Structure 1
Amino acid sequence: MAEPLVVVVGGANVDVKARTTAPLVDATSNPGVVLRSPGGVGRNVAENLARLGSRVALVSTVGNDPDGDWLLAQTAAAGVDVAPVLRGGATGRYVAVLDHTGDLAVGVSDMAATDSLGPDALDHDLLRAADLVVLDGNLPATTIDAALDVADRVVVDPVSVAKAARIAPLFRPERPVFAVTPNAHELRALGSVAALHGHGVEVVWVRRGAEGSELHPASSGPVWLAAPVVDPVDVTGAGDALLAAFCHALLRGVSLEDAAAYGHRAAALTVADPHTVVPDLSARMAR
């Protein structure tokens, strides 16, 4: 039997992360460490899935530039099928400044490449062949709309309050969505758990950071899950690991609650690691 296929549609960019080695002081230079790593919500989710052992293809776009070459090579080396990734323009970048505790102080996104990923970038046959499709809320609303028309089982990560508000009108009962994974602020932009259920969303997974999360299946009552306690090193990518591990576990037949708990373990390992995606994630999850 073939390994289940996950198709991730979303952003791929280069992350530049600067972390101070002492408490952050505004409006001046701070001593610290600066690292470059592969990034982008969609790309991070795809790499986490591949490192956990899932068969995954990435639909994205990167530039015809050295950053794009490097990003594709790094992503393919992790086990992701990057054949559907388009080339053109300049590769996106995300710059994050973290304080000495690993918490995000400020971030700047240059997502023009992802903004250009229109509906014609979608391979309908690939989406139909997928056992699960993950959509990154950074995509244009028209692209998410087109993907929802084609794919059978979809998970949508709203990504931010602004993006959540943009995609809220896309959920309709006549084309059900398997899961939406907002944080509390994004949920308010989407409406409410009840509203999302009414618009055809089967599972609403409300993420509350270090506190944990709430699973809201349409068919039963809510379930609260605590997050593992961890000393943070770098919070970047934790939500992407959470989502990827959740999807990976679901495709292996575990319950929603167990899949969400598996996601929390992956997020905890990511927060405690300096990498955006933990390089030996599968081995560490098995311990």
Structure 2
Amino acid sequence: MVGGAIVDQKLTLHAPSVMGTSNPGRASTSLGGVARNVAENLARLGVDVAFLGAVGRDALGDELIARTSALGVDFTHVLRTDAPTSTYTAVLDPSGELVIAVVAMDRAGELSGDFLRARRLVLQGARVLVADGNSSEDTLRTLVDIAGERGIPVVLDPVSVPKAVKVRSVLRTRRSIHLVTPNREELEVLVERTVRESDLPSAANALHELGVERVWVRLGARGGFLSVEGEASWLPAFPTRVVDVTGAGDASLAGYLHALLLGASPEDAARSGHAAASLTLESEHTVSPLLSPRALRERLQGATS
């Protein structure tokens, strides 16, 4: 995993938000960052995973590394910086849906291409390489190049609309990419045009032409759209009682990767991702402490029974 590791600060409103004034609610703090979240989810699913990212040399950074390492994520290759550890502050409405979020994150951008090249042997020992859009464009391109030398599949998660621009720049170089995982708005950035749900097949084909093997578009409560070299599938979301949407996309990518490494078909891997997301949506934590291979199997079995 290459990308962001931050501290999440979540503020949940007791009532619908009223702009321009104080709102009553409750606060909680947890560990976050897309790449770190995916890494923790994978570790909870029993997958060996290493994290490469930048973390501040401060108390928050020490706690982030200690707690994530204790779950089985290898932080040996993390870059410690003198800048503060990054933070993500989210305001959620009473139903758990995101109202607004503020990210104070520039540490992941400090991972240069030289940093990754110095760890080439570590990267080339991976079965899959995953990077999020918190990484710099130079980092993303270098990662894809290193992976290409050994034919290692690469997964890119755009993270957000502004950060999808960096992923778009990498895709324009027509490097081989195993999977990109945008939502519809991020997909619009990648293909540089408005994309309605009816346009998803053509937008995915545009990315296939750039060398992307699989395009998995997250559609929230409506499920997801998966295109594998032009073969499209619409996959419904699992029935879920939503407590908090934070981290659901990260869990879905981890569920996909877990199944992929076990040899699952693209559709079954995506279904595994939806199952992992549903478990996370039902938790107030960014990464559900209940996530496990058994919990994932039971959720998948429950959906088909």
TM-score (norm 1): 0.94
Counterpart AA for 2:169: P
Match of 2:31 in 1: 38
Counterpart AA for 1:252: L
SS of the aligned residue for 1:33 comes to: strand
Structure 1 alignment gaps of length 5 or more: 1-7
- Alpha-carbon shift at residue 172 of structure 1 (Å): 5.5
Residues 1:126 and 2:122 are matched in the alignment? yes
> Matches of 2:49 and 2:104 in 1, distance apart?
25
CA contact (8 A) 1:172 1:200 kept: no
Deviations 1:73-109 (A, max 9, x none): 1111111011111111210001001011100111000
> Matches of 1:284 and 1:202 in 2, distance apart?
29
SS of the aligned residue for 2:111 comes to: coil
Residues 1:208 and 2:222 are matched in the alignment? no
Count of equivalent residues: 279
TM-score (norm 2): 0.89
Which of 21, 43, 53 pairs up with 2:14?
21
Residues 1:228 and 2:238 are matched in the alignment? yes
Match of 2:194 in 1: none
- Alpha-carbon shift at residue 286 of structure 1 (Å): 3.4
CA contact (8 A) 1:24 1:100 kept: no
SS of the aligned residue for 1:194 comes to: helix
SS of the aligned residue for 2:73 comes to: coil
> Matches of 2:174 and 2:210 in 1, distance apart?
8
Match of 1:91 in 2: 85
CA contact (8 A) 1:115 1:138 kept: yes
CA separation of 1:162 and 1:68: change in aligned 2, threshold 3 A:
same
> Matches of 1:193 and 1:155 in 2, distance apart?
15
Deviations 1:16-46 (A, max 9, x none): 0010122222222222210110000110000
Match of 2:162 in 1: 162
Which of 75, 81, 95 pairs up with 1:82?
75
CA contact (8 A) 2:130 2:155 kept: yes
> Matches of 2:95 and 2:75 in 1, distance apart?
34
Residues 1:142 and 2:138 are matched in the alignment? yes
- Alpha-carbon shift at residue 12 of structure 1 (Å): 0.2
Match of 2:101 in 1: 107
Structure 2 alignment gaps of length 5 or more: 192-202, 299-305
CA contact (8 A) 2:137 2:169 kept: no
Give the alignment's Cα RMSD to 1 decimal.
Answer: 1.3
Match of 1:243 in 2: 253
SS of the aligned residue for 2:74 comes to: coil
Residues 1:256 and 2:250 are matched in the alignment? no
- Alpha-carbon shift at residue 162 of structure 1 (Å): 1.7
CA separation of 1:160 and 1:174: change in aligned 2, threshold 3 A:
closer
> Matches of 1:167 and 1:54 in 2, distance apart?
26
> Matches of 1:36 and 1:252 in 2, distance apart?
33
SS of the aligned residue for 1:215 comes to: strand
> Matches of 2:253 and 2:68 in 1, distance apart?
18
> Matches of 1:231 and 1:275 in 2, distance apart?
14
Farther-moved stretch of structure 1 (47-56 vs 154-163): 154-163
Farther-moved stretch of structure 1 (161-170 vs 50-59): 161-170
Identity %: 49
> Matches of 1:286 and 1:201 in 2, distance apart?
29
SS of the aligned residue for 1:222 comes to: strand
- Alpha-carbon shift at residue 174 of structure 1 (Å): 5.8
Match of 1:5 in 2: none
Match of 1:58 in 2: 51
